Amino acid sequence: MLYADVILPLPLHDTFTYAVPEDMKDDIKRGCRVVVPFGPKKVYTAVVCEVHDRCPDFAEVKSVVTLLDKKPVVTDKQFEFWRWIADYYICSVGEVFNAALPGGMKPKDGDAMKADKKRRRTKSAVVGDLSLQIASSVLSEAQSKAYEEICDSFTTHNVTLLHGVTSSGKTEIYIKLIKKTISEGKQVLYMLPEIALTTQITDRLNKVFGGDMCVYHSKFTDTQRVRVYQGMLEERPPMLVLGVRSSVFLPFTNLGLVIVDEEHETSYKQQEPAPRYNGRNAALVLARMYGASVLLGTATPSFEVYHLARKGRYGYVQLTKRYNDVRLPEIQIVDVKELRRKKLMKGPFSDELVTAMRDAVSAGEQVILFQNRRGYSNFIECKCCGWVPRCEHCDVSLTYHKESNQMTCHYCGRTYAIPDVCPACEEKRFINKGLGTEKVEDLVISLMPEARVLRMDLDTTRSRLSYETIISQFADHQADVLVGTQMVTKGLDFDNVSVVGILDADTMLNQPDFRSYERAFHTLSQVAGRAGRRGRQGRVILQTHSADTDIIRQIVNNDFWGMFYDQMQERKLFNYPPFFRLINVFLRHRENNLLEHLSEEMAMRLRTFFGDKVLGPDSPPVGRIKSMYIRKIMIKVDVKAPTDAVRSCLSSVRDQMLSQTVAHGLTIYYDVDPM
Ligand code: ADP
Ligand code: ZN
Ligand code: ZN
């Protein structure tokens, strides 16, 4: 009798053993998908990780229902990689499996099962003809030099950081490296943050690599993603994968190079659900498994990466000039505090910004306005008593959206009607507080009625199409001004933008997070980098209340080193990354008092291992989401502490906590290297 140990796509820690029916025994292999019954009624798609003849020691062994694959769809390397993710991020392999395979490959019911079979019969459309078109552009001298340095660095380092200012032509260097790797018969993974993976970059690479390339994006339909996954398993798989963080889960055969563009991007980190992995760090591990080189590219390196580059652990190559010697944009600070005092502001706009916008638009140039808040106003407030509407299920005020004329909770997504009267004092008038992109758009239209304005934020880009449409309309100069959240900062390349306006730099600086300065530097430098990419030097107007602070000066002077040096002193003093690793523990329960008590107990248990490096429990800034109260405990772990020991200690503390009857209804999860 044969048995199959399988992984189920669930947060369960073990594999499960099923009997293999006679008619499957010749075909079933490690890496094949099977349908298995689980619990009294359910069936799941699982993946076989071992086939053996050891009879399990429990009485009732259930049988595999269906074998979905004749050939494995999960490779040995993938199993090894899944194990690493599960261990490092303290979750189950089942959760990794669930994230790794597109939904369409894990059908749950009979109908979906049939659909899946049908889909597998249609041949993959991704792999096309293999002849390369020759790229058009000869690199510049600086680019060639950087290219040579990278190739040299690859001979001595597994990982190299390419630190090149915005618009220095990093992408062209990537293209040359990709060609070289493909010509050696090896595959390339080119990773981008979700939001930066646009048609702009896809088209650019498609021109060069055509049918050799496939794109893996979470906005793709399930069918498309299944097709890409299956295409990777074919005899002649795509040689270049351009994808978001989840592309690390694709079945590569012969990976030779991994490029992680915009490596500093915090969106490489998956927040919810588990596995809460960082795509960049996972890619480093993936590359090591294949002996592939890694190139991390950015204009503003993350501290973790820059620190290792400085220590010589990573290779380091720099590009200090923009392509074609275009100068970096001039950043002009506008001291809003002073102007407000003198009543010289037009709403959120200084005269400087208004003039710069008007001049640009009348000269046929374009403007980007950055405000890192969507909606119309952050919240509304009763004019008489100051009452503020809040979400019933989350501890947070509601954001007012004018277009839909309702209030939205940005944590649970629930919408509410605007109240007719204040429930506290029956006043009928409300005031809008704070500034969102919707309001900025309105104000620009009233200031410059002749200008054509587009807005790009989560609300206008719910569908992939509209995101692409906004970018292409702006690129085609169908609009003069683009108002947006951080979405406008991500790697977009527009020819004609001469002015970038940052309406309020302070909200970014004032975040209660040890990374807030680092992040503000990244975001503001990136948004500034959208100005003057081709031709003339661009101009950035940065409005702030903190004009005379070091961090603003460092942003203006593009003084990455100064910012890094200052912040590193603090990180060292307070035991933060990259000197210590952080692991956050989140506990959730419907009952606030019980949660309070349980989280105190958990912190106490953790202190027996980690001593005073355990902080909390605290309520996070939003202490209740979707009716669940939340507590957070932070653990600062010595970078030299053995990860295995740390992990097993954390798993056992969690299991002890959850095994108590009083803990019924409690959820606990770890967030390793939180962003
Ligand atoms: P980065 O990725 O560093 O921000 P890009 O690779 O997007 O920079 O390059 C900026 C602009 O310069 C792009 O529009 C690109 O087409 C152009 N460019 C860069 N290198 C070359 C080259 N060698 N030949 C022609 N154009 C180039
Ligand atoms: Zn009131
Ligand atoms: Zn809510």
Give the model confidence (pLDDT) of 195-224 as tens digits. Answer: 888 888 999 999 999 989 999 998 889 999
Question: Looking at the predicted structure, is the pLDDT value of residue 53 above 90?
Answer: yes
H helices present in 66-209, as ranges = 76-88, 93-100, 110-121, 141-156, 170-183, 199-209
Distance from Cα 492 to the centre of ligand 1, integer Å: 12
pLDDT attached to residue 239 = 98
- Cα distance between residue 653 and residue 372, in whole Å: 39
Burial code (b: 16+ CB inside 10 Å, e: under 16) for 245-257 equals bbbbbbbbeebbb
* Mean of pLDDT values over 639-655: 93
> Which one of the ligands is nearest to 175 CA?
1
Closest residue by Cα to atom 14, ligand 1, is 493
Which range is least confidently modeled, 309-318, 363-372, 490-499?
490-499
* Angle in degrees, 0-180, between the axes of helices 199-209 and 464-475, rounded to the nearest 10: 80
Per DSSP, the residues of 296-331 read EEESS--HHHHHHHHTTSSEEEEE-S-GGGPPPPEE
Probe ligand 1: pick from 161, 167, 489, max atoms within 8 Å of CB? Answer: 167
List pLDDT tens digits, range 17-29.
Answer: 999 999 999 999 9
List pLDDT tens digits, range 523-573.
Answer: 999 999 888 877 788 999 999 999 999 999 999 999 999 999 999 999 999
Closest residue by Cα to atom 27, ligand 1, is 169
Closest residue by Cα to atom 21, ligand 1, is 169
pLDDT attached to residue 468 = 84
Spatial neighbors of 592 by CB under 8 A, at least 6 apart, are 624, 629
List pLDDT tens digits, range 528-542.
Answer: 988 887 778 899 999
**Which helix (H) or strand (E) element contains residue 48?**
strand 42-52
Q: How does residue 491 score in pLDDT terms, banded at 50, 70 and 90?
A: low
Closest residue by Cα to atom 16, ligand 1, is 169
Longest dimension (CA), the chain: 87
- Across 529-627, where does the E strand assignment appear? 539-544, 580-589, 614-618, 624-625
Q: Report the atom number in ligand 1 closest to the C-alpha of 139.
A: 23
Question: Looking at the predicted structure, is the pLDDT value of residue 467 above 90?
Answer: no
Distance from Cα 199 to the centre of ligand 1, integer Å: 16
4-7 own/partner pairs: CB under 8 Å, 24+ apart: 4/28, 4/34, 4/48, 4/50, 4/51, 4/64, 5/48, 5/49, 5/50, 5/51, 5/52, 6/34, 6/36, 6/46, 6/47, 6/48, 6/49, 6/64, 7/46, 7/47, 7/49, 7/93, 7/94, 7/97
> Which one of the ligands is nearest to 136 CA?
1
For 673, the token pair is 């290297």
Backbone angles phi, psi at 433, to 5 degrees: -115, 135
Which range is least confidently modeled, 78-92, 96-110, 181-195, 236-250?
96-110
Q: Report the atom number in ligand 1 closest to the C-alpha of 319.
A: 3
Distance from Cα 493 to the centre of ligand 1, integer Å: 9
Burial code (b: 16+ CB inside 10 Å, e: under 16) for 543-582 equals bbbbbeeebbebbbebbbeebbeebbeebeeeebbbbbbb
- Cα distance between residue 3 and residue 24, in whole Å: 11
- Cα distance between residue 605 and residue 657, in whole Å: 9
Q: How does residue 112 score in pLDDT terms, banded at 50, 70 and 90?
A: very low
pLDDT attached to residue 339 = 94
pLDDT attached to residue 465 = 66
Return the number of other C-beta atoms located less than 10 Å from residue 56's C-beta: 14
List pLDDT tens digits, range 6-15.
Answer: 999 998 877 9
For 629, the token pair is 């109260």
Distance from Cα 430 to the centre of ligand 3, integer Å: 21
Q: Which residues pair with 92 in a beta bridge?
A: none
Q: What would the 3-class secondary structure string for 162-200 be?
A: EEECCCCCHHHHHHHHHHHHHHCCCEEEEECCHHHCCHH
pLDDT attached to residue 115 = 43
Backbone angles phi, psi at 147, to 5 degrees: -60, -45
Q: Which protein residues are within 6 Å of ligand 1, measured from CB?
A: 137, 139-140, 143, 164, 166-172, 323, 493, 533
What dihedral do alpha carbons 526, 531, 535, 539 form, nearest 10°? -120
H helices present in 574-640, as ranges = 592-610
Closest residue by Cα to atom 20, ligand 1, is 169
Ion ligand 3 — residues with CB < 5 Å: 391, 393-394, 409, 411-412
DSSP state of 415: E
Backbone angles phi, psi at 256, to 5 degrees: -115, -25
> Which one of the ligands is nearest to 398 CA?
3
* Mean of pLDDT values over 509-514: 88
- Cα distance between residue 612 and residue 636, in whole Å: 9
Q: Report the atom number in ligand 1 closest to the C-alpha of 529.
A: 4
Closest residue by Cα to atom 24, ligand 1, is 137
123 vs 443, more confident: 443
Note whether 5 and 94 are within 8 A (CB). Answer: no
Note whether 94 and 36 are within 8 A (CB). Answer: no
Q: How does residue 113 score in pLDDT terms, banded at 50, 70 and 90?
A: very low
- Cα distance between residue 457 and residue 489, in whole Å: 11
212: left (phi over 0), alpha (psi -120 to 50) or beta: alpha
pLDDT attached to residue 29 = 96
pLDDT attached to residue 242 = 97
- Cα distance between residue 444 and residue 617, in whole Å: 45
Question: Looking at the predicted structure, is the pLDDT value of residue 137 above 50?
Answer: yes
Q: How does residue 464 score in pLDDT terms, banded at 50, 70 and 90?
A: low
* Mean of pLDDT values over 88-101: 95
Distance from Cα 427 to the centre of ligand 2, integer Å: 5
Closest residue by Cα to atom 10, ligand 1, is 167
> Which one of the ligands is nearest to 165 CA?
1
User: Amino acid identity of 393?
Assistant: H
- Cα distance between residue 446 and residue 346, in whole Å: 11
DSSP state of 419: P
Closest residue by Cα to atom 19, ligand 1, is 169
> Which one of the ligands is nearest to 421 CA?
2
The answer to whether the pTM exceeds 0.85 is yes
Distance set, CA 661 to CA 205, 601, 618 (Å): 56, 14, 24
List pLDDT tens digits, range 277-335.
Answer: 999 999 999 999 999 999 999 999 999 999 999 999 999 999 999 888 888 899 999 99
- Of all residues in the chain, what percent are helix, strand and coil, respectively (each to 5)? 35, 25, 40
pLDDT attached to residue 134 = 39
Distance from Cα 91 to the centre of ligand 3, integer Å: 27
- Cα distance between residue 72 and residue 101, in whole Å: 13
Q: For tokens 């199993």, name the residue.
A: 79
Distance from Cα 630 to the centre of ligand 3, integer Å: 13
Distance from Cα 608 to the centre of ligand 1, integer Å: 54
Please confirm whether the linkage preceding 275 is cis (ω < 30° from 0): yes
Query: Percent of the chain, pLDDT > 70?
Result: 95
pLDDT attached to residue 326 = 86
pLDDT attached to residue 655 = 94
User: Amino acid identity of 672?
Assistant: V
- Residue length of the chain: 675
- Across 430-561, where does the E strand assignment appear? 430-433, 453-456, 481-484, 497-502, 539-544
Closest residue by Cα to atom 1, ligand 1, is 167
Backbone angles phi, psi at 34, to 5 degrees: -135, 160
- Cα distance between residue 87 and residue 274, in whole Å: 12
Closest residue by Cα to atom 25, ligand 1, is 137
471 vs 120, more confident: 471
Counts of helices then strands in the chain (DSSP H, E)? 19, 28
* Angle in degrees, 0-180, between the axes of helices 437-447 and 351-362, rounded to the nearest 10: 70
Spatial neighbors of 516 by CB under 8 A, at least 6 apart, are 508, 509, 510
* Mean of pLDDT values over 406-420: 95
* Mean of pLDDT values over 579-607: 97
For 127, the token pair is 């792999």
Round to the nearest angstrom and report the end-to-end CA distance of the chain.
49
Mean pLDDT of the chain: 92
For 208, the token pair is 């060069």
Q: For tokens 């004609």, name the residue.
A: 496
Probe ligand 1: pick from 144, 150, 172, max atoms within 8 Å of CB? Answer: 172
For 15, the token pair is 């594999």
